[in-house]
C-alpha cells in the first residue's frame, strides 16, 4: 500500500486553509457585532442621560 503524499498534502492544506478562513470570518463577525452593540449601548446611555436631565 502506497501513500500519495501529494494528495495527502493537498487535503491537509485545504483543511488547514479552511480552518483559518473560518477563524477570520468569525473574528470579523465578532468585531462587527461588538461595534454594533457598542453603538446601541452608547445610544441607550445618551437617551437615559437626556431623560435624567429633563426631569
How many Å apart are CA 46 and CA 55, to the nearest integer? 14
The angle at the Cα of 48, spanning 44 to 52, to the nearest 5 degrees, equals 170
pLDDT in tens, 13-54: 999 999 999 999 999 999 999 999 998 888 777 776 666 665
How many Å apart are CA 22 and CA 10, to the nearest integer? 18
Greatest pairwise CA separation for the chain in angstroms: 83
Signed CA dihedral, 23, 24, 25, 31: sign only? positive
pTM: 0.67
Amino acid at each position: 500500500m502506497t501513500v500519495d503524499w501529494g494528495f495527502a498534502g493537498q487535503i491537509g492544506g485545504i483543511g488547514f486553509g479552511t480552518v483559518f478562513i473560518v477563524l477570520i470570518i468569525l473574528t470579523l463577525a465578532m468585531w462587527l457585532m461588538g461595534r454594533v452593540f457598542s453603538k446601541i449601548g452608547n445610544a441607550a446611555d445618551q437617551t437615559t442621560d437626556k431623560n435624567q436631565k429633563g426631569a
